Structure 1
C-alpha cells in the first residue's frame, strides 16, 4: 500500500516550536524569520527531511509559507487550503490569504520598524529575494541570509533521501539524453551562454532520462546539474546515488559530489544561465556577475511531449481508466450499504490500480472526501479524520497513478444514494465548464489565462466560482504538477503548444456540506479543419486522454445545450469503445449502463 493514513499534522506542537524558533531569532538578532514550504530544488513536494513548514506549524499542504515575528506569526496559504489550514494549525499562527496579501505588504504592516528579516538562501529563489528587497528596503526593513533556524531546533529531523537513481528507457522517453543535451546546448550557444545551471529535479530527470525516488509520489532525483554549451553535463548528487546510471549516461556526464557545486560555480566562466524563478538565491550569489537570467532551458521542451511520450500517456490512461471503472462499479455496489469509510475507498482504489501489474506509485495522496470533507480541496484522510461514506452525500475522489509509460490524474464526484439539495445543479455547471474547455478551438499564441474563463462561465452565471486554477501541466512519468503551462488567470505568458498535457478540472465547493470537481487530462493538438475554417488561420484544440464515465445521476440534462449533450454522449460512447474491451463481468455491465446516452 503506497498511501498511509497516519496523522502527520501536530498543531499542538506549534506553540512550543514557535517559542524555540523565537529564541533562535533573538540569539541571531533577527526581528523576523521566513519559513517556506520549499526545499533547495523548489519542487512542489518535499522530502520528510525538508518538511520544515509542516514540522513547525502542522500545516501539510503543498504550498504556503510562514513568517515569525517576536510577538506574532502568520501562515500564508492560497484558496486550496483555507479550510485545511484552520484544521491543522494552532491559532498561534494567523492564517493569511495569499496571494491576495503579499509577504512584503504584510511585513511592512506588521514587522517592527527597522527590523532585520532572516531567510535561508537555499530555500528562496533569486527572483523572490530580489523582489522582497525592492519592496522592503524603502520601508527600512532589511533582509539578511542566515543559517536555517528551524534546522537548529529540529532535533529529530529525518535523514536526507539516499535512494539510487534509475534509467527511464528511450522506449518510454522517445529521445536519447545525448540528443536532448545537444539540442539544448545549441540554444545556449545561440544565446552566447557558456552553461546553464539546472536546479529543478524534473528538469534533470528529463534531460538525462533518469528517474529517482527522493520525493514521495514524484519519480525525480535530488540533484543539481550544469549543462555546458558543448552538451557536457556535470551532475552533483549524494554519494552513490548515480552509480546505477553512470555507465548509461556515458563519458559526457560527470558525476560529482553534491557539496562540490559551490566550488564548481566559483571556477566556472560565464555567462551562466540561471532561472531566477527556481534557482536558490545562494547559487545566484555564488555566480555573481557571471549569472545571466533566463528560463530553465528544459522547461518548455519537457512540457511539449514527443510522439512516444504521448502514445505512452494514452496507454497509461486507458489502463488507468479500466482500473477506475472497476473501482466505480465496486463503489456503486458497496456504498449504498453504508459500510464504507474514506480510508476503505482509498485502499480499494489503490488495489484496483495494483491489479494492473504496472503501478509504480500513486501520483499523489488520493483525495477521498465524503460530505463536508469534499469541500477541502486537497483533503488527505487519516486515522483521525476518517469518516463513513453515507447515503445521501457526495463523494469526491481525486487520484492518480505513476506508470513507466505515463502519469495520470483524474477526479470524479459520485452521488451515494440521492444527492443533496442543489448538488446536481452545481455538478452540471461544473461539467458544462469542463466540456466547454474540452471543446475549445483556439489560435496559436493563446495562453491558459485566455481559456480559464471557459470553464468558469457556467458557474459565474449562477454566482458560483472556485478558488483554484482550472488545470495544471502533467509530466510523462514525472511530476503530476508540471510547469510552465496551466489553465489559470495567472498563466499569461506561456502559449499553449501541441504536445502539452494539462488537467481540465473545474469545481465548486460548499464548505461544511460537499465538494464537486470533475477532471480529465487533455493534450494540445492541431485542430482538424471545419468546413468554415480559414485555411490561413490553423487552430489548436484538445485530445482527451481520460476515459471514465461521469455520474449520470448528477447530470441535469435539461440544463445542457444540444452541443453539450452531444459531447457528453460522444465521450461516453468513446469511453465504452476504448475501455470496454479491458473489462468483463460486473464492471463491464456497470460501464455499459454508465455510458448510456443521456
Structure 2
C-alpha cells in the first residue's frame, strides 16, 4: 500500500491563504481493486440440522427467519398480487423479482419517486432489499432496522435479519426456494455492476438465470398514477469561498489521473461526486444537496447529463466556463454506445456505476471488436498492444479517484464545517433550553413535536438549507430503534422518566452537521447510567485515539466497543461514517466499522463521525455522536519515520453528566469531559444570544450534589474506582465541572492545561513538549447553592429554577 505524498498531508491551517494551497486532490494512492469488491467466496451461514433416527437421514430444522412473531400469516396485499401478474407477461417470464433500495446512482437517500422498495413492502428504512417470488415475499435489512421492520411489515412478509446466525443471504434464499432453471428479474439500473455480477454468479450454482429488464421496472408499472413525479428543482453554484478549489482545477487533476491509465474517459454516476467535481449543488434528493445527473469527463472535454430545465443562467455560464457540455439526462446510454463504437477505453467504477451502463458499454465494445478484428487499427492513442489486448481496447474497471479526493477536505471546506457546527450548536442550545422548560412544565410533547421544534430553531440560523437526514427523535423504547423515524399518527409522547435519544443534523450552505445526544429529564436508573457511561467511555477512547498513518478505520472500531464488550454488550452498526462538506451526511470511502473489508486508511482532512451506542430492545437506546476531523498529532517520537494521526472535534455541545456513573470512569475520562465542556462554553458563549441558554448549558454540564456524594457508594466497581490514585499518589478524584467565566464569587478557579487537546487544533502545530497557553477553567463546588430566581456573578446571569438542586 502506497502512502500519500508528504506534501499532500502537511498540517492544514485555516489561516493559510487559499491561493498558496497546493494540495494535490487526486493522490497516487492505489489499493488493489479486488479489495473493494465484495467477496464471492464468503462462507455461507450455518444451517441447523438434526438426525431423525427413523429415517437415518438429516432433517432440516425450520429456520428462525420463517417465524412470524406469533402472528397469523395474511394474504399478500394487492400491490404484491399485481406485481406477480406481470411475471408471466410476454417478454418478462420470470419466477422472482428483486427490488433494492437504491436509485440508478446507488444513492442511500433517494427521491420519493424512486422509493420502490418502500412502496411494495411498506418498510421505509433507508437500507433493505425486497424479493417477491410467485408464492413468497421476503425483506432483508440490517441491525439498524430490525425493530422498525417488525413494526412496518405485514405478516405476509418474511423478515430476514441480515447478518444474524442462520439467516440466508438473498442469493442463498433464491437458490433454496426456486427450482433449477428459474429466472430472476432485476432492473439493471438499480444494481451496481459488481452487485449484479455477484448475484449472477451465486444463483448460477442452482442453474438459475439472471434476467435484465432494461425497458421496464415492474414496480413502476403497478405504481402508475400515484407515483410522485421526478424532482425538477433548480441547481445552484457552490461558491468558491466554500468549495476552495475551482472546477477547472478539479477537472485538470482528474484528467491527469486519466493520463496515468489507458482510459480516455471516465463515467461518473455517484451524485455527490458529480456535485463536488463541478461545484454545483441541488435539491433533488431530500436532505442531500445533490441533483440527478451523470458526468463523462474526456481528455478534451466533459459532458453533463441532466434535465436542462433545472439550470439557471448562472449555472449555464458556470458550466460553459469550465468547458462542460450539456446532454439530456436520459441519453446516457446513447453516449456510452457512441464512445464504445469509437473504441473508447472507459474508466468505470463497477462498484457504483449501474449494471445497465456497464453492460451496454461491454456489448457495444464487443461489436466494435468484431468489426475491427484483423484490421490492425485501434481508435485509442493511449492503447498499447503490448498489454496483451490484441483484439482491441476494453474498459478500466477500478475505483473512482473522485471518492478519495472529495473525502480530503481543503481549508475552505474545513472552515465552512467549523463555522456551520458553531451555528448549529447555538440552535441546539436554544432548542434544548425550550425542551427542558416544556418538560418541567409538564407539557405533553410528542416525538414529532420535538423534531418539528428543532427544525424551527435550526431554520432561523444563517445559511440553513435543510435537515441532513430525517430526525431520529425516540423516547424510551423507540430510542432502541436505531434509525427510528417518528410519524404523527403513531409516535409517542416524550416521557420525562425515560431516556430520550435525539439524532439530528442540518445542511448549511457552508457545511453539513450530524449530532446525537441522549438525555434523561428525571432520575435515570442504575442500568441506564451504566450503559450510558460505557458508551461515553467508548466515545472518549476513540476521540483520544492516536494511530500511525495508513491505518484503516476498522482497526479503530474496537476502541469504541471495548467498554461495552467487558460486560457482554455491543451495538449493531458501524462506529463512524464519513461526512461530506455541504454534501451527503454519509460519505465514503472511509469508515470506522467492524467490517474489515473496507481497507481505506484514515487520512488528514477526512471527516468521520464518532457514534458508539447501546440499544436495549423495547426499553431504551443510547448514542453519543460528534464529528471529528483527522489531523496530524505531534508525537514525541516517530517510529519508522511515519506520521501519527488523531482527531480534532468539530461538534461542540454538552453531554449530559447526570447520566455518568462516576464509579466507572477514570480520572483521565473525567478530565476529558471537563475539558470538552470548557471548550463548549468557550466557543458557544459568542454564539448564544440569551441568558436562559447559558443557564441550560450550565444545567447540562453540572452534576447534582447528591449524585456526586452517592456515586458508586455501594458498588464494588465504585469502591475500586475510588481507590485509584493519580500520578502524585493522591486518592482525590477530579469532579465533573463546567466552564463558566467570571463565577469567582461562587466557584473555585484553577488553571489547567487541556492535555487532550494539545497540538490538535486547526492551524496549531505545537510540539507535545512545548508549553501551551493554559485555559481558565471554573469548577462549581459541590456545596454551591442558589435560591430560586436569578443570581448574577460578573456578567453571567444564571436563572436557577426551584426544581434544580445544584
Per the normalisation by structure 2, the TM-score is 0.71
Aligned to 2:278: 208
* Cα distance between partner residues in 1 of 2:247 and 2:308: 22
Pair 1:227-2:297 in alignment: yes
1:306 aligns with 2:406: no
Partners of 1:338 and 1:389 within 8 A in 2: no
Give the Cα separation in 2 of the matches to 1:54 and 1:227.
34
1:498 aligns with 2:604: yes
- Paired with 1:223 and 1:50, the residues of 2 have a C-alpha distance of 15
Aligned to 1:132: 199
Distance 1:131 1:99 in 2: 17
Alpha-carbon distance, 1:458 to partner? 0.5
User: Which residue matches 1:6?
Assistant: none
Q: Which residue of 2 aligns with 1:69?
A: 133
Task: Answer with 534-543 or 259-268: which moved more.
Answer: 534-543
Query: Equivalents in 2 of 1:534, 1:592: separation in Å?
Result: 43
Partners of 2:143 and 2:592 lie apart in 1 by 16
Report 1:290-305 matches (<5 A): 290-305=394-409
Residue in 1 aligned with 2:346?
Answer: 272
Structure 1 residues 167 and 12: alpha-carbon distance in aligned structure 2, compared to 1, 3 A threshold = farther
* Of 575, 591, 595, the match for 1:470: 575
Pairwise CA distance, 1:12: 10
8 Å contact kept, 1:303–1:473: yes
2:181/2:209 contact within 8 Å kept:
yes
- TM-aligned CA deviation for residue 595 of structure 1: 3.5
Q: 1:336 to 1:12 in 2, by over 3 A?
A: farther
SS in 2 for 1:83: helix
**C-alpha separation between the residues in 2 aligned to 1:206 and 1:18?**
39
Deviation, 1:243, is 4.0
Q: Report the Cα distance in structure 2 between the residues aligned to 1:364 and 1:166, rounded to whole angstroms.
A: 21
Structure 2 counterpart of 1:90? 154
What SS is found at the alignment partner of 1:129? Answer: helix
> Contact 1:396–1:413 (CA<8 Å) still a contact in 2?
yes
Q: In the aligned structure 2, how far is the partner of 1:164 from the partner of 1:582?
A: 32
Q: Equivalent residue for 2:230?
A: 160
Contact between 1:31 and 1:112, CA under 8 Å: does it hold in 2? no
Q: Secondary structure at the match of 1:122?
A: helix
Q: Counterparts of 1:360 and 1:472 in 2: how far apart (Å)?
A: 22
Q: Is the 8 A contact 2:466 2:508 kept in 1?
A: yes
Cα deviations across residues 259-292 of structure 1 (Å, max 9, x unaligned)? 2211211111421111111111000011115432
Shift of residue 110, structure 1, vs aligned partner: 1.7
- Asked if 1:188 corresponds to 2:258, the answer is yes
- How many Å separate the matches in 1 of 2:696 and 2:488? 31
**Contact 1:317/1:408 (<8 A) preserved:** yes
Q: 1:115-162 deviations in whole A, cap 9, x for unaligned?
A: 100000111111011111111112111101012111111122111111
- Could you tell me how far 1:48 is from its partner in structure 2? 1.0
Q: Is the 8 A contact 1:549 1:575 kept in 2?
A: yes
Partner of 1:16: 78
Partner in structure 1 of residue 360 of structure 2 = 286
Whether the 8 Å CA contact 2:504–2:516 is kept in 1: the answer is yes
Equivalent positions of 1:408-557 (< 5 A) are 408-491=513-596, 492-530=598-636, 534=639, 536-557=641-662
Aligned equivalent of 1:563: 668
Count of matched residue pairs: 586
3-state SS in 2 of match to 1:87: helix
The structure showing larger relative contact order (alpha-carbon pairs under 8 Å, at least 6 residues apart) is: 1
Residue 122 of structure 2 corresponds to residue 58 of structure 1: yes
| CA shift for structure 1 position 342 | 1.0
Query: Alpha-carbon deviations, 1:359-406, whole Å to 9, x = none?
Result: 111111111100111011111111122221122101100000101111
The aligned counterpart of 1:4 is none
Stretches of structure 1 that go unaligned for 5 or more consecutive residues are 1-10
Q: Whole-Å Cα distance in 1 between the matches of residues 465 and 80 of structure 2? A: 38
Partners in 2 of 1:220 and 1:485 — Cα distance? 20
The alignment partner of 1:582 has SS state of: coil
Q: In 2, are the aligned partners of 1:336 and 1:390 still within 8 Å (CA)? A: no
Give secondary structure in 2 for the equivalent of 1:240: helix
Q: Tell me how far apart the structure 2 counterparts of residues 564 and 202 of structure 1 sit (CA, whole Å).
A: 38
Looking at structure 2, the residues matched to 71 and 259 of structure 1 have their Cα atoms a distance apart, in angstroms, of: 35
Against the structure 1 CA distance between its residues 371 and 52, is the aligned structure 2 distance closer, same or farther, given a 3 Å change threshold?
A: same
Contact kept in structure 1, 2:74 and 2:155, CA below 8 Å = no
Aligned to 1:151: 220
| Distance of 1:324 and 1:391 partners within structure 2 | 19
Partner of 1:112 in structure 2?
179
Matching of residue 324 in structure 1 with residue 428 in structure 2: yes
Structure 1 residue 421 displacement after superposition: 4.5
* Conservation of the 8 A alpha-carbon contact between 2:242 and 2:412: yes
1:350-389 matches, within 5 Å, as 350-389=455-494
Residue 241 (structure 1) aligned with residue 310 (structure 2): yes
TM-score where L is the length of structure 1: 0.95
Contact preservation (8 Å) 2:74, 2:156: no
Distance 2:310 2:399 in 1: 27
- For residue 390 of structure 1, give the secondary structure of its aligned residue in structure 2: coil
In structure 2, distance between residues paired with 1:406 and 1:312: 5
